[in-house]
């Protein structure tokens, strides 16, 4: 898992200004990093006390987090090694999450006006999730999540249980996204060939441990690498440079070489030599899961 501003896997209650460990599994392997970066939520929430109602408190919290993400950022190349890329702005949004006294986000692929696809390890209680994007004037738009369904084969305990896990989930917003969003196309057919190009686009951090470098949609082109799999994709920079998913990129789409269809989502990443960002990006392929995704999307659209 990868995230900025807060861990997508919130595994403790202490506020901190660094990405935490991602203990979410993907196919029985331990994630090397969290796709959520941690924000000092105690500081952010300091003004929420008093006579506010619970609903107003929640709204204030999300707006505070959105404002932090909108703050001017130093020049950055991220994900890691990536560049700002508006091609996918109509198909990718952010999922704000919180847990205990920490807050953060994941990335998500838009499937329809109210349904998005993200990593299952990003899920929280519904009251602690919201979809975020910016309108044409740059103002923060925050929409509560009112339903979420993880893939039935997702196992949060996959590491200790030594079982496979499909780290995928669909979420539904309480009201439609802006009309500027379009449902993304999902790839059909078999897995991409080894060496084929794959584009990762997400809102994650540009540098390991630097949550403030995230919050802008960026993309980077990687190459599919071994091992070949009908379930997962592994991708890395073909020239060995530091490039790939980082904190905040859990749930980010991995696109075909021409950017026309999503072939996978990000669920796991690591540095070239152990924990960190920009060495290897991994996630479940979407074509084998397309039937489940479509059936679940219909269920959510029907109020299920």
Cβ atoms < 10 Å from Cβ of 31 = 27
pLDDT at 297 over 90: yes
Structure-token match 């990868």, residue found: 2
Residue 154, token pair as written in the block: 């997702």
CA nearest to 214, candidates 32, 102, 42, 65:
65
The percent of the chain in helix, strand and coil, each rounded to the nearest 5, is: 20, 30, 50
Quote the pLDDT of residue 186. Answer: 96
Cβ–Cβ under 8 Å, residues 38 and 7: yes
pLDDT tens per residue, range 113-142:
999 999 999 999 999 999 999 998 889 999
Structure-token match 């084969």, residue found: 153
Q: Residue 65: enclosing H or E segment and its boundaries?
A: helix 54-70
Cβ–Cβ under 8 Å, residues 7 and 109: no
pLDDT tens per residue, range 214-238:
788 999 999 999 988 899 999 999 9
Residue 102, token pair as written in the block: 């920490």
CA nearest to 202, candidates 171, 246, 169:
246
- 112 or 14, greater pLDDT: 112
Overall size of the chain counted in residues? 304
Kindly report the average pLDDT of the chain as a whole number: 76
pLDDT at 190 over 70: yes
Confidence at 298, pLDDT banded by 50, 70, 90:
very high
Cβ–Cβ under 8 Å, residues 263 and 286: yes
- Rg of the Cα atoms in the chain: 17
pTM equals: 0.77
Report the distance separating Cα 268 and Cα 21, nearest Å.
Answer: 12
Cβ–Cβ under 8 Å, residues 2 and 204: yes
- Mean pLDDT calculated for residue range 84-106: 87
pLDDT tens per residue, range 242-289:
889 988 999 999 999 999 999 999 998 888 777 778 889 999 999 999
CB-based burial of residue 170 (10 Å sphere; 0-12 exposed, 13-18 middle, 19+ buried)? buried
Q: Residue 114: enclosing H or E segment and its boundaries?
A: none
Confidence at 25, pLDDT banded by 50, 70, 90:
very low
Structure-token match 């044409």, residue found: 136
């Amino acid at each position: 898992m990868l995230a900025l501003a807060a861990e997508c896997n919130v595994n403790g209650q202490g506020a901190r200004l660094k990405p935490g460990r991602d203990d979410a599994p993907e196919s029985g392997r331990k994630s090397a990093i969290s796709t959520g970066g941690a924000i000092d939520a105690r500081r952010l929430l300091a003004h929420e006390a008093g006579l506010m109602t619970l609903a107003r408190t929640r709204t204030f919290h999300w707006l505070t987090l959105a404002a932090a993400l909108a703050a001017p950022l130093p020049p950055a190349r991220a994900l890691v090694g990536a560049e700002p890329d508006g091609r996918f702005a109509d198909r990718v949004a952010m999922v704000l999450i919180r847990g205990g006294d920490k807050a953060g986000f994941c990335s998500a692929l838009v499937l329809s006006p109210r349904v998005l696809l993200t990593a299952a390890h990003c899920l929280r209680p519904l009251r602690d999730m919201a979809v975020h994007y910016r309108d044409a004037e740059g103002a923060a738009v925050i929409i509560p999540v009112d339903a979420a369904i993880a893939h039935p084969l997702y196992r949060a305990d996959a590491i200790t249980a030594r079982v496979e896990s499909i780290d995928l989930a669909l979420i539904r917003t309480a009201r439609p996204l802006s009309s500027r969003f379009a449902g993304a196309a999902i790839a059909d057919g078999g897995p991409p060939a080894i060496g084929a190009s794959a584009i990762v686009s997400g809102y994650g951090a540009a540098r390991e441990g630097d949550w403030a470098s995230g919050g802008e949609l960026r993309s980077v082109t990687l190459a599919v690498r071994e091992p070949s799999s009908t379930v997962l994709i592994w991708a890395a920079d073909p020239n060995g440079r530091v490039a790939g998913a980082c904190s905040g990129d859990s749930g980010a789409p991995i696109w075909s070489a021409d950017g026309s269809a999503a072939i996978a989502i990000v669920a796991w990443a690591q540095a070239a030599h152990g924990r960190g960002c920009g060495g290897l990006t991994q996630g479940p392929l979407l074509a084998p899961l397309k039937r489940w995704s479509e059936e679940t999307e219909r269920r959510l659209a029907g109020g299920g």
